[in-house]
Amino acid sequence: MKGRSMKRSFITIAAVAMLFGLWACGGGSGSQPVTTIYTAGPGATPSPSAKTLYVDHHGTLYRYALPLHAGEQPSQMLVEAPGSANTPQLSVDPFGTIAVATTTTVRLFGRPIQSLEPKHAKLTLKLTPAITEMGPGGADLVDIEFDPNNNLWLFNDLGGEISEVAAPIQKNSVAAVSIPFGAPGTKAAGYTGLIQGRFDVSAALYVYANQAATNRSRLFKISFPYAKPPSPVGLDIAQADFVDSSQYLPTDPHPNSLLLGQYNGLLSSPPPNQPPPPPSNVLARFSEPFPPAQDLFPNAHADTIVGALIADPPREVFYTLDGATGSLAAYALPLQNAAKPQFTIPCPGVPSDCSEQSEHLYLSP
């Protein structure tokens, strides 16, 4: 879900912020929608494919060289927060900078990265109430994500708050945008249990959140400039990754836009006058654009549970981490019914760090 930056229009943002000021607090900064990944026409040259896959296993980061092959071994292993008893949140930006967030700081590490020890950080940002909600123990971050334009977003379970630290990040940075997710009167009311954030190539923000009263989880969309309340996508789908048709190579025969993720729901409409079956928990693909005013069902699915997912459209594959074992797998893109991995690579960590733990996948140059 990475793209390229375009210059912001502060006049447009300010006008929208005035119109919708009751929804998104802050300076109205944010990501401008990005262009396609290549220029169409004769001699078109796509952006270079990523060269690195970062695999985050519960506080340990592994680096793999791409293209990935069966039997591949990580070329580097990094402890994400040396000396800390808590597992941090981590993200990698489109240029390979790594952000490590603890309860009190965000540390940024530039390439080449040899260590994630605090002393090697190129910048350390102290978290304050001007950036995100802070409790006695600091922030309760459940996820951090870079958007396509290198802005860093913090997803804080204290009050269900989402905030953006605009690029370039500096020691005195404060939140440029603050979104009180799950606010009363919105379609996300009560969904204050933040789980994950994701972005598509147009810098639209997707939030996967839980409603404690019903124990239901849903995916919501907030389009740039993040001034309107979130709208439900209509799916319970975790690990969401959005693949835009512009991200494939120009020679790809089926460059369809799609959504991939771990879907919890029905696979088809139940027969007339019959109760619906129990929901299925499967790896699923949904083709875009979604049909209006219709129930959404997967176009394809595979019977597996993944704890992380990221697509690599130029190589026509996507990578997953198995939810139970942490094993790294490569699947052909787009996902087909009953698909099996092209190959799997065992988790290099100890079993306790590979099973049912926090996991992430990131691509970088």
> What is the model's pLDDT at position 66?
97
Does residue 53 sit within a domain? no
Q: Which regions of 5-140 does DSSP assign to beta strands (E)?
A: 25-26, 52-57, 60-65, 76-79, 89-92, 98-101, 105-109, 123-126
Does residue 70 sit within a domain? no
Element (H, E) at 149: none
Range of the domain at 185: 1-34+80-231
Residues 216 and 268 in one domain: no
Start-to-end CA distance of the chain, whole Å, equals: 14
Residues 250 and 163 in one domain: no
> What is the model's pLDDT at position 253?
81
pTM: 0.86
Domain count, the chain: 2
Residue after which a domain boundary falls, among 192, 215, 231: 231
Residues 226 and 243 in one domain: no
> What is the model's pLDDT at position 36?
28
Q: Closest by alpha carbon to 130, among 163, 166, 100?
A: 163
Does residue 39 sit within a domain? no
Per-residue pLDDT of 158-183, as tens digits, reads 989 999 999 999 999 999 999 999 98
> What is the model's pLDDT at position 352?
85
Residues 18 and 160 in one domain: yes
> What is the model's pLDDT at position 26?
44
Residues 8 and 91 in one domain: yes
> What is the model's pLDDT at position 80?
96
Residue after which a domain boundary falls, among 231, 250, 269: 231
Residues 110 and 185 in one domain: yes
Does residue 45 sit within a domain? no
Given a cut of 50, the residues of the chain with pLDDT beneath it are 1-46
